[in-house]
Amino acid sequence: MVMEISCEEVWREVSNYLDDEITPELRARMLEHFKGCKHCTAVLEGTRNVVQLVGDAKAFLLPAGFSDRLYQKLDRKLSEDGRL
């Protein structure tokens, strides 16, 4: 039986998921979550894209405050969906 996992926990672990640095149990929980959560699937795909861009040996600077704005937007979305 796979125990549910919250969106917040998925977001905390998505990088580790992509790097295959999580337990098989957590991987199973996350896979099950991705099946039913479009938002987290989008976060996964976005993170995967960023990792590929950065791994492409092309360095680029993000605009000032980008991380803060990203986290604020994610928090707002979770609040709207009643997940926080």
Nearest CA-CA partner of 74 in 26, 51, 42, 29: 42
For 9-44, how does the pLDDT look when each residue is reduced to its tens digit (9 = 90+)?
999 999 999 999 999 999 999 999 999 999 999 999
Provide the 8-state DSSP code for 22: S
pLDDT at 7 over 90: yes
Domains of the chain by residue range: 7-80
pLDDT value of position 5: 92
pLDDT value of position 79: 86
* Count of positions (residues) in the chain: 84
pLDDT band, residue 84 (cuts 50/70/90): low
Question: Do 17 and 30 meet the contact criterion of CB atoms below 8 Å apart?
Answer: yes
Nearest CA-CA partner of 50 in 67, 27, 74, 33: 67
